[in-house]
Structure 1
Amino acid sequence: MTAKSTLLEPLSIEHRQVLHLCENIRIGLRNNIQKERIRTYTNWFKSEFLDPHFALEEQHIFPLLGNNVRVKKALANHRRINKLMTCDCDDEKVLNLLEEELATYIRFEERVLYKELAQNLNPQDLEMLEKHHDNIVFPEEDWKDKFWIS
């Protein structure tokens, strides 16, 4: 494993946590869980995990890629996802859109942005990212209402 892929692995693990959120939303909707319970979970996830992850990307990762079309797309996706997550409505349509948007976006980051990042990192970039990335911990075990478990 190269230094570049070693550094990017924690970020990919964080992305898998987001995909896990998407799966939990799908399960909750499929099982007709109260939308308020699902929304409470997504709000918690946003503040505890997604906000710090987005901040890391916006402040330290995206600048390494320059101001290109893919970075602009990523920033637009961040705005759209934040808008869906802060919407006052708890309806099923918004939760479905949120789940779809997040899953699609994470796959874009993994398949396009992070692949580009791995190809273009230099030793100074690696050092800077290691300094700023503290492996955002996803404390799912702290969440008591695991509505996705039957």
Structure 2
Amino acid sequence: MDTKKKPIKRHTALQPLSRQHHFGLLFSWKIRKGFNKNIDPQRMMKFATWFYKNEIKPHFSDEEKYLFPIMEPGNELVERALKEHRRIKRLFLDTTDPERTLHRLEEELDAHIRFEERILFNEIQKVATEEQLRKVEEIHEETEQVKEYSDPFWDE
């Protein structure tokens, strides 16, 4: 029996969002790497704040404004994603205990991305019309640039 997972065939309109998900998974990896290297949590929190402003906030906004409305109102998968967005936003903004926050953030963001990639995006792809997908594609035509963070603590 073949237990290998087949790669997900993502519609081209959703590929930029999937690429952003890749950067989110890299964020979690960088935070784990920072902990393994005993990097000061305050230093990593600065990275988290930068990442939230430059990547997460616009990404969540695009999903909520353009992608999630493709599904019927009250869809349980979209409701779950929205609930996770709210929780992840709160974590990014919580500076009271950086070490605890960063541990939770890297775990929850990782799990959220895997849910969206493996389940929610597949369902959206099934029901979306070509016109809806074209609109999603348009929003990313001019925004495909990777920003670099100035303090790559994970490479030390």
Equivalence for 2:38: 32
Structure 1's unaligned 5+ residue stretches are none
- Kept in 1: contact 2:60–2:85 (CA 8 A): yes
Is the partner of 1:103 in helix, strand or coil? helix
- Number of aligned positions between the proteins: 145
Distance 2:21 2:81 in 1: 14
Distance 1:26 1:90 in 2: 16
Report the alpha carbon displacement of residue 128 of structure 1 after superposing the two structures with TM: 1.5
Report the alpha carbon displacement of residue 127 of structure 1 after superposing the two structures with TM: 2.0
Distance 2:98 2:15 in 1: 35
Equivalence for 1:92: 99
Distance 1:144 1:124 in 2: 39
Equivalence for 1:75: 82
- Kept in 1: contact 2:71–2:124 (CA 8 A): yes
- Kept in 1: contact 2:45–2:98 (CA 8 A): no
Report the alpha carbon displacement of residue 18 of structure 1 after superposing the two structures with TM: 0.3
Equivalence for 1:117: 124
Distance 1:138 1:36 in 2: 24
Pick the structure with more helix per residue. Answer: 1
Equivalence for 1:147: 153
Distance 1:43 1:91 in 2: 11
- What's the TM-score once normalised by structure 1's chain length? 0.91
Deviations 1:111-138 (A, max 9, x none): 0110111111112112221222344533
Report the alpha carbon displacement of residue 93 of structure 1 after superposing the two structures with TM: 1.6
Moved more, 47-56 or 117-126: 117-126
- What's the TM-score once normalised by structure 2's chain length? 0.88
Aligned residues: percent identity? Answer: 37
Report the alpha carbon displacement of residue 55 of structure 1 after superposing the two structures with TM: 0.3
1:105 aligns to 2:112 (yes or no): yes
Deviations 1:71-92 (A, max 9, x none): 1100000000010000022432
